[in-house]
Amino acid sequence: MSAEADKTKLVTYRQALNDTLRSEMSRDEKVILLGEEIGIFEGSYKITAGLLSEFGPERVRDTPIAEEGFVGAAIGAAMLGMRPVVEIMTLNFSLIAIDQIVNHAAKIYGMFGGQQSVPLVIRMPGGGGQQLAATHSQNLEVWYAHVPGLKVVAPSTPADAKALLLAAIRDDDPVIFLENLALYNTKGEVPPGDTPGEIGRAAVVKEGTDLSVITYSRATTIAVEVARQMAQEGISVEVVDLRSLRPLDRPTICASVRKTGRAVVLEDDWLSYGIGAEISATLMEGAFDYLDAPVRRVAAAEVPLPYAKPLERRALPDAVDLRRVILELLDDTSFRS
Amino acid sequence: MNESRTADAGALVEFYRRMVLIRKFELTADQMYKRAKIGGYCHLNLGEEASVVGLMDALRPTDYLFTNYRDHGYALMRGMDTGKVMAELFGKTTGVSKGRGGSMHMFDTSTRMLGGYGIVGGQIPPATGAALALTYRGAPGPDAEAVMCQMGDGTTNIGAFHESLNLAAVWSLPIVYVVINNRLGMGTTVEKAAGEPELYKRGASYRIPGVRADGDDVLAVRQAVTDALDQARTQRRPALLELMSYRLRGHSVVDPARYRSAADVETAQEADPVPALRAQLIADGTLTEKQADAIETEMEEQVAAAVAFADAGPDPTPDQLFDYAYATPVPNAPTALPGERMVVLP
Ligand SMILES: Cc1ncc(C[n+]2csc(CCOP(=O)(O)OP(=O)(O)O)c2C)c(N)n1
Ligand SMILES: [Mg+2]
């Protein structure tokens, strides 16, 4: 490896994905990309920029607008030994393919007695905040995280995007790889090499002693920022980034809260039946005796997300909401008295 | 074309044997269901034997097969062990899918039958993707691999059918879509459900050539599908084949099919391909009554042995519940039984 390639680089989340797709396609010719507008158009969010000219139209395959068809086709190709990485333009459109994902990709290995794995990756961005209105702004990851047979990851940093995409492509099971529109331009340090991350493990991305914020994807960036600010005020917030929604790293979540005694879940999805509900139940079981107060949840308001900026902004959880809830929880437990 | 239309007498006797095997297997499955040895849904190929045998004879061991849930005959003709297919119905670990799939989900990598599928139309996109994978493997030619995707008439109304045919056309894939037109999807006739009830014509929207053949004539089936597969192999072009057939009984073993008219039932019985072939073979002197009876007895014995094998196989035990959770193990995969704690802490 050249000295240049050895260095940790500061790159965007988008670039980390693009670099990783390129290196995996170079490493293994079974890796093919399928999706709408990923070739000549270079991807709706330009994640696949430059790959068509490098690898040709057979390995960077533009598809018709037929999510059920091409996601299902990727399943079949995976069953014959290919390693397809599908891009669905946004998470919202994956609902057209949900039969193939839930009834087929997730079932084939177990239902046929472990004879045939489905090494498939489905990449797609979720998330609101772009004024795209109700049908284009959803966080439906919990729909997939609910389903045995799938693996669901949601990296929050460029380094994790790389590590988890490497893991997803090399994994023999179907992996839902959740991206987020608001993360594509965020920058972070990405180490060289090609060591995959571990699906099924959370990370304590900031250590603290007073309270745990448990979060994932875009919301992690908010939590880390709030934790940094509160450290100036003498409040020590620990941030747990789930990274993997299925499997969920329950031991790491519980260990953090056993240490801090207070927990807030920050999530971009809707509150009812959401990721936060699962985390809260997990803490009931694994940290009940250590909790100084009930778990708090900061999640999206339960409306189809409106277009108008003031409404959209208020519906989505932000740093102000998180900060307020952290302070309330601290007050409830006499932290500052 | 004509040479395989006129098979030699030996081949026809062999087709008859296979059709009888399916017939006996399905009648036995029906009995075993009534004795509660088989659970869930159970759909039989009764009346479709000539189609199944003709199709499977043309499909090579190197080809791939995807079917719907009416899949017992296909599994047998693909070369799966009769006992293991019965064991799958019985939910035994000795079943072809280790008892995880049941009647609708026969699967065997070694014979390249990549699944019976219980969701109507669910098999069509993966089959299409299997054909896509073949285009990365080798060049077209007479020895190239191909994919067959079987489905029912009612299935041509679902979106997955249309999306898949379109993909196969624009990507030029080596796949033959076979529609078993048994005139009914559960209780709904083709005419009631399909805007174009001549189903082979539905390929036209995608410039996929469509052919209709007599599904009760094993040789006609074999010829039509051989031609379609040849086209897939040598030109890498998809084809749509519609086989006209009749379902002899209800949709599944528990359906008394009261919605069928007496006339319809009579037509179905008259068209029954198994006694028809027997009569033909006896009429033209290929078989004596006695020889035909001997074939029936032999197949009955094979099915009885399959039942004995299935009976003898072990039931899966609860400790095996999570055996096939993931192909690549990962930390923290949930393994709690109902009521057990999810969180296991050091
Ligand atoms: C998506 C979906 N909808 C409904 C059903 C219930 N269902 C099972 S079989 C069937 C009829 C299918 O008819 P056809 O395609 O003609 O196949 P046949 O049963 O006649 O072989 C229906 C409606 C299902 N399994 N999947
Ligand atoms: Mg039918």
Q: Which atom of ligand 1 is nearest to the CA of B122?
A: 1
Atom of ligand 1 nearest to the CA of B251: 19
Give B156 to chain A, closest Cα distance, Å. 14
Token pair of B235, please? Answer: 């030109």
Q: Please determine, for residue A208, whether its predicted confidence score (pLDDT) is greater than 80.
A: yes
Q: What is the pLDDT of residue B346?
A: 62
Averaged pLDDT for residues B11-22: 97
Q: At residue B169, does pLDDT exceed 60?
A: yes
Residue A67 known to be catalytic: yes
Count of alpha carbons within 13 angstroms of residue A136, beta-carbon side: 8
pLDDT band per the 50, 70, 90 thresholds, residue A8: confident
Q: How far is CA A18 from CA A47, A166, B337, in A?
A: 5, 12, 41
Which among B334, B346, B341 is positioned nearest to A255, based on CA atoms? B346
3-state helix, strand and coil shares in percent for chain A, rounded to the nearest 5: 40, 20, 40
Buried b / exposed e over B264-290, threshold 16 CB at 10 Å, is: eeeebeebbbbebbbeebeeeebbeee
| pLDDT of res. B3 | 43
Q: Identify the architecture of domain A203-332 in CATH.
A: 3-Layer(aba) Sandwich (3.40)
| Contact status, residue B282 vs residue B288, Cβ threshold 8 Å | yes
Contact indicator for A77, B130 with CB cutoff of 8 Å:
yes
Q: Do domains A3-190 and A203-332 have the same CATH topology?
A: yes
Q: What is the mean pLDDT of residues A227-234?
A: 98
Q: Quick check: B168 and B128 in contact, CB under 8 A?
A: yes
Inter-CA distances, A202 with A252, A263, B331, Å: 7, 16, 10
User: Measuring CA to CA, how many Å separate B254 from each of B28, B44, B67, B105?
Assistant: 14, 11, 21, 18
Closest among A146, A125, A98, A144 to A278, alpha carbons compared: A146
> What 3-state DSSP class applies to B86?
helix
Tens digit of each residue's pLDDT (9 = 90 or more) over B180-207: 999 999 999 999 999 999 999 999 999 9
- Model confidence at A1, in pLDDT bands (50, 70, 90)? very low
Whether the CB of B154 sits within 6 Å of ligand 1: yes
Taking the domain A3-190, which CATH number applies? 3.40.50.970
Percent of chain B topping pLDDT 70: 98
In this predicted complex, what is the ipTM?
0.97
State mean pLDDT over A284-313: 97
Q: Which residues of A touch B108 (CB under 8 A)?
A: 115
Whether the predicted pLDDT of B1 surpasses 50? no
Q: For residue B200, what pLDDT is reported?
A: 98
**Domain ranges for chain A:** 3-190, 203-332
The whole-number average pLDDT for the span B142-157 is 98
**Domains of chain B, with CATH numbers?**
2-320 (3.40.50.970)
Mean pLDDT in residue range A242-250: 98
Q: What is the pLDDT of residues B276-324, one digit of tens each?
A: 999 999 999 999 999 999 999 999 999 999 999 999 999 999 999 999 9
Q: What is the pLDDT of residue A147?
A: 98
Q: What mean pLDDT is predicted for residues A68-76?
A: 98
Cα four-point dihedral sign B298, B300, B303, B308: negative
Over the stretch B50-85, which tens digit does the pLDDT of each residue have?
999 999 999 999 999 999 999 999 999 999 999 999
| Least-confidence region, from A1-15, A258-272, B174-188 | A1-15
The set of residues, in sequence order, having a beta carbon less than 8 Å from that of A131 and lying 6+ positions away, is: A307, A309, A312
Q: Report chain B residues whose CB lies below 8 A from the CB of A73.
A: 125-126, 128-129, 132, 164, 167
Amino acid letter at B344?
V
3-state SS, residue B46: coil
Coil vs helix vs strand at B97: coil
Let me know if A104 is a catalytic residue.
Answer: no
CA dist A141 and A124 (Å) reads 10
- Geometric angle at alpha carbon A145, from A181 and A319, rounded to 5°: 45
Query: Is the C-beta atom of B156 inside 6 A of ligand 1?
Result: no
- Report whether the peptide linkage leading into residue B316 is cis, meaning its omega lies within 30 degrees of zero: no
Cβ contact, residue pair B97, A113, below 8 Å:
yes
Sign of CA dihedral B5, B11, B15, B20: positive
Binned at pLDDT 50, 70 and 90, residue B2 comes out as: very low
Look at residue B4 and tell me whether its pLDDT is greater than 70: no
**Minimum mean pLDDT among A30-39, A140-149, A308-317, B258-267: which range?**
B258-267
Give the closest-approach CA distance of B120 to chain A in angstroms: 10
Which residues make Cβ contacts (< 8 Å) with residue B332, sequence separation at least 6? Answer: A200, A201, A244, A247, A248, A249, A250, A251
